[in-house]
Amino acid sequence: MTKANATRRRRQSLELVDAKEAVDLANLQKENVFLFIPNIIGYSRVILAGLSLYYMSYHPIYCTILYGVSCLLDAVDGHAARMLGQTSKFGAVLDMVTDRCTTSCLLCYLSSVYPPYAVLFQFLITLDFSSHYMHMYSSLVTGSTSHKLVNSDVSRILSLYYNPVTLFTICAGNELFFVSLYLMKWISTPINAAAFGSWTYPEVMASFTGPIFILKNVINAVQLWKASKILVGVDLAERAAARAAKFQAQVQVQDEKQKS
Tell which of 52, 83, 113 closes a domain.
Answer: 113
Position 13 scores a pLDDT of 46
Tell which of 113, 131, 155 closes a domain.
Answer: 113
Position 1 scores a pLDDT of 46
- The DSSP letter of residue 4 is H
Q: Are residues 102 and 127 in the same domain?
A: no
Write out the catalytic residue numbers: 99
Position 191 scores a pLDDT of 86
Q: Are residues 127 and 242 in the same domain?
A: yes
What is the pTM for the complete model shown?
0.86
* Cα separation, 216 vs 120, whole angstroms: 15
Tell which of 72, 87, 113 closes a domain.
Answer: 113
Total domains in the fold of the chain: 2
End-to-end CA distance of the chain: 45
187: in domain: yes
173-221 pLDDT, tens per residue?
999 999 999 999 999 989 877 677 789 999 999 999 999 999 999 999 9
Position 5 scores a pLDDT of 52
Q: Are residues 134 and 242 in the same domain?
A: yes
Domain that includes residue 30, residue range: 17-113
32-36, 148-152, 170-174, range with greatest mean pLDDT: 170-174
- Are 94 and 62 in contact by the 8 Å Cβ rule? The answer is no
pLDDT higher than threshold 70 for residue 8: no
213: in domain: yes
Question: Quick one: pLDDT band at residue 15, thresholds 50, 70, 90?
Answer: low
173: in domain: yes
Q: Are residues 28 and 140 in the same domain?
A: no
Question: What crossing angle do the helices spanning 164-184 and 89-113 adopt, rounded to 10°?
Answer: 30
39-68 pLDDT, tens per residue?
999 999 999 999 999 999 999 999 999 999
The upper half-sphere exposure of residue 140, i.e. CA atoms within 13 Å in the direction of its Cβ, equals: 11
216: in domain: yes
* Cα separation, 159 vs 109, whole angstroms: 32
- Are 111 and 123 in contact by the 8 Å Cβ rule? The answer is no
| Strand ranges, E, within 50-159 | none
* Cα separation, 155 vs 173, whole angstroms: 22
- Are 227 and 137 in contact by the 8 Å Cβ rule? The answer is yes
Q: Are residues 135 and 209 in the same domain?
A: yes
